[in-house]
Structure 1
Amino acid sequence: MGKSTHFSGQPLYSQIIKLLDKSQVLQMSRNCGGERYIKRFDCWTHMVVMLYAVIMRFDSLREITASLQAEARKLSHLGLSIMTSRSTLSDANKRRPESVFASIYRDLYATYRSRLSSDSRACKEAKWMKRLQIIDSTTISLFSNLLFKGVGRHPKSGKKKGGIKVHTVIHANEGVPSDIKFTSAATNDSFMLQPTALSKGDIMAMDRAYIDYQKLEQMTQRGVIYVTKMKKN
């Protein structure tokens, strides 16, 4: 993005928030049913609070609410009308559909994707780089296998890796993922491979975890090029 004096003197988080359209965020939340039975803690406030928690790297609701209340005067630029309690934030995280935030992310990606690739490399990149997509997943191990089903075979220790799996698709010439999904660690990776979302000439790079012969055949029929590893068996 080009340099501008529009944000001069404003905190960094305030500058980030200004990239979002509040009315559009609330409309997307209404479309997904995220504003039902809501009096004050709307989707905009919810998103601002959770983004603040991510930036500050908080790990609990207590940390989030305590920081907001302690820094209330310093956070006036965020436009928050209320400083939420733990119970309110907990209820919002439970009740508001995740599809609301997925819609917001996709809208932001569609709006700013043209600015995500480096301008200095735009004229030097090979044409196939713009068609290349990379798909992969990573597992975030959590405290117990009791709540989240484990993934993989039992190692010598007798424990399987349990937690949440993050599935990501990214274009090789861009700086942020075009699609992200969270599942249990035991979910098979191949569900993330969507041939219908690909066009003729697209290139998909993936590991053997994504091999699904029916989907690979569909990709072949659609003229999609894919690169992967052969299964050992």
Structure 2
Amino acid sequence: MGKSTHFFGQPVYGQLIKSLDHDKIVEISRRNGGERYVKTFDGFTHLLTMLYAVIMRFDSLREIEAAMTAEVRKLHHIGIDRVPKRSTLSDANARRSEKFFEDVYRDLYESNKDRLSSDSRRNGTEEWIKRLRIIDSTTITLFSNVIFKGVGRHPKTGKKKGGIKVHSVIHANEG
């Protein structure tokens, strides 16, 4: 039995980082000035750490450090040699601007946009789908019944209304 990396159940994080190019990301970080005075925590490792934090829905540097310390045996396989400390993460977040992450996203999008688009865009779009629009209507409640009993006069039922009706229209061929 061969060792295929395309098996069912492969973790999302592993699939995500497989599409990243280490040298290209470090070069993007260098262009944005994020590699000055850096010894071990380069832009690629910073990106991997932040992706892990987003996927795990962490809110603080302490949570990131604690979770990565608990998973220290698995980090080497994804390219992280040591667990970054909170101060290192804080310094990296201050040093590397959001422009670095934006440029990495734009580069990934440019290299994968053909695979991300729908078949209807690639194979030429029918005329009717260009004119097709999707219409949605939803109500957003402005007041909770506990704090405010609504606005306006009481109707015969005794309930008041307080909300906004939102209508949106998008082209069906837009992503």
Shorter chain as denominator, the TM-score bin is 0.5 to 0.7
The amino acid that maps onto 1:113 is K
Tell me the percent identity: 55
In the alignment, is the contact (CA less than 8 A) between 1:25 and 1:104 conserved in 2?
yes
Two-structure CA RMSD over aligned residues (Å):
2.9
Report what 2:42 is aligned to.
42
**Structure number with higher strand proportion:** 1
What TM-score results when the alignment is normalised by the length of structure 2? 0.65
Aligned length, in residue pairs: 133
- Give the Cα separation in 2 of the matches to 1:124 and 1:21: 32
In the alignment, is the contact (CA less than 8 A) between 2:28 and 2:103 conserved in 1?
yes
Of structures 1 and 2, the one scoring higher in RCO (CA 8 A, sep 6+) is 2
The Cα of 1:73 is off from its aligned counterpart by 1.3
| Equivalent position SS for 1:23 | helix
Superposed, 1:212-227 pairs within 5 Å as none
- Give the Cα separation in 2 of the matches to 1:27 and 1:174: 32
- Give the Cα separation in 1 of the matches to 2:172 and 2:80: 37
Report what 1:221 is aligned to.
none
Report what 2:61 is aligned to.
61
Report what 2:87 is aligned to.
87
The Cα of 1:174 is off from its aligned counterpart by 6.0
Which one has the largest radius of gyration? 2
Is residue 21 from structure 1 mapped to residue 34 from structure 2 by the alignment? no
Deviations 1:32-70 (A, max 9, x none): 111001111100000000000000011111111100001
In the alignment, is the contact (CA less than 8 A) between 2:72 and 2:82 conserved in 1?
no
The Cα of 1:13 is off from its aligned counterpart by 1.2
**Structure number with higher helix proportion:** 2
- Give the Cα separation in 2 of the matches to 1:39 and 1:19: 25
- Give the Cα separation in 2 of the matches to 1:94 and 1:173: 39
In the alignment, is the contact (CA less than 8 A) between 1:28 and 1:104 conserved in 2?
yes
